[in-house]
Amino acid sequence: MSATAQLVSFICHLDPARLPDSLLQHATRCVLDLIGVAIAGARAPMSEISARFGYEQFAPGDCTVIGAQQPLNACGATWVNGTYASALDMDDGNRMAMGHPGANVIPAALAVAEQTRATGREFLTAIVAGYEVAVRASAARVAWYKDKMYSTGIWGVFGATAAAGKLHKFDEPTLQAALGTAGSHGPFPPGGLQANHAMVKEVIAWSGMTGVAAALLAQRGFIGPPDIMDYSRRWDTAALVDGLGSEYAIANTYFKPYAVCRWAHAAVDAALALKKQHRLQVAEIEKVRVDSFWEVTRLVNYAPSNTVGAQFSIPFALALALTYDQIMPEQVSDANLRDQAVVDLARKAQVVVDDELNRQFPAKTMARVTIETPRGAFQTTVEYPRGNPENPLSDAELATKFRALAAPIVGDDTCEKLQVAIRDLASARAVSALTQLLGYDR
């Protein structure tokens, strides 16, 4: 049996009734985090553009668009909600995948769950399946493919397809055909941080929509190459299925407390720890040195031109964190891009590659930060940034993040009802208890 077929067989035989409660809890945490991020992300400029496009180009349907009373078809709702989910760079991620499975998988699963009238447990199982396929599709890529083509959409499309196929209750040949179509038609963006300069955000929304479309095509008899991960020479097929069923990718999800690229989080944690420990004042900071892994050198942008660029700037992230003691969406703003005090503080940051820290990437995204002041130099190292499985956010902290993002938009009452609906998904007879609350009028 090919590696693709083994992966498909595992997903098709994943039984919602026998899925451990611990995995359902992981999936529930992912949904809570993603929905809060998407509610806030709906107000981003890229989201407003994408929503207008969605209503112009996709047919009406029965799938909820967050913050809207007019539903779209499954592809359209996945596109719009996927844009919302990725807009703020606060969506979840996986270290070994080096990207963001949630924003690809959950909008697709939510749309198809509505379409198929799935139970909450079936919805959560599809999310577990989607994360499994997406993360494995990234982590098992051969070196050249991983190094040069790392955008989430390249491998996230397989996760969206797997989630959609699971909810459609595909048999193995149909799901193989769908994955083949997804891989053939999915996004193939070039390397580089396109998001420094544009709104493409790792083509996450596009790949989620493509995954749903691939499943719908397979449902209608469209035949895609059945063993796409085996013959293309882009995957280590042994790694693709190694340990399948013994551990689940969704259990290694990280959650983001800051609205900036994850590669900046260890440095931000270290800077905030130093500020608190030594009672540093922004006015006394002369220099901030970050020793870290090579990839963070891609984030050395001292003058981002827009909020998307600011999300991918370590100097700007450090300046915001040291100024406000947090980095929420309201800090990553046009006003702060023009704030001379923030700009001046950002210019005091220096990023240097450390050989030892570099060797531990991508398993670890470490940073050693040194802040120089007239009182002396203060230094600390962060091995695992907040939100990593090794340094997790508690359920209470995730709930606090959700309220901070959602309550100003939907109100306290709806915010609480949303949390209850999400927490109750494992026993819900349908996802409508959640989606009805998401159809609020912005």
Domain extent, residue 13, equals: 3-257+400-438
Domain annotation covers residue 389: no
- Indicate if 220 and 85 belong to the same structural domain: yes
State whether residue 382 is helix, strand or coil. strand
Here the CATH number for the domain that contains residue 323 is: 3.30.1330.120
Is-contact 39 410, C-beta < 8 A? yes
CB hemisphere CA count around 57 (13 angstroms): 12
DSSP state of 192: S
374 and 278 within one domain: yes
Same domain, 404 and 288: no
Residue 395 lies in a domain: no
For residue range 217-270, list pLDDT tens digits in order: 999 999 999 999 998 889 999 999 999 999 999 999 999 999 999 999 999 999
- Amino acid, single-letter form, for residue 95: R
Contact of 215 with 170, CB cutoff 8 Å: yes
Q: Are residues 75 and 102 in the same domain?
A: yes
* Euclidean distance between CA atoms 163 and 167, whole angstroms: 6
Please tell me the distance from the alpha carbon of residue 45 to that of residue 377, in angstroms, as a whole number: 40
Q: Are 291 and 368 in contact (CB under 8 A)?
A: yes
Query: By C-alpha distance, which of 190, 248, 223 is closest to 14?
Result: 248
CATH number of residue 163's parent domain: 1.10.4100.10
**In angstroms, what CA-CA distances link 15 with 40, 145, 249, 267, 415?**
33, 33, 17, 41, 31
Distance CA 314, CA 269 (A): 12
**55 falls within a domain:** yes
Largest CA distance in the chain: 71
CA-CA-CA-CA torsion sign (121, 218, 228, 155): negative
Helix (H, G, I), strand (E, B) or coil at 99: strand
- Tell me the CA distances in angstroms from 317 to 57, 258, 262, 420, one per residue in order: 36, 9, 11, 33
- CA–CA distances in Å: residue 223 to residues 179, 180, 421: 10, 8, 38
Distant-in-sequence, close-in-space partners of 20: CB < 8 Å, separation ≥ 6: none
- CA 293, CA 353: separation in Å to the nearest integer? 5
Same domain, 354 and 423: no
Q: Structural domain tally of the chain?
A: 2
Q: For 282-329, what is each residue's pLDDT tens digit?
A: 999 999 999 999 999 989 999 898 999 999 999 999 999 999 999 999
270 vs 1, which has greater pLDDT? Answer: 270
Q: What is the pLDDT of residue 197?
A: 60
CA distance 378 to 371: 5
Average pLDDT over residues 144-165: 90
21-43: per-residue pLDDT in tens? 999 999 999 999 999 999 999 99
Least confident of 236-240, 296-300, 337-341, 377-381: 296-300
In a domain, 34, yes or no: yes
Using one digit for the tens of pLDDT, what is the confidence trace for 38-65? 999 999 999 999 999 999 999 999 999 9
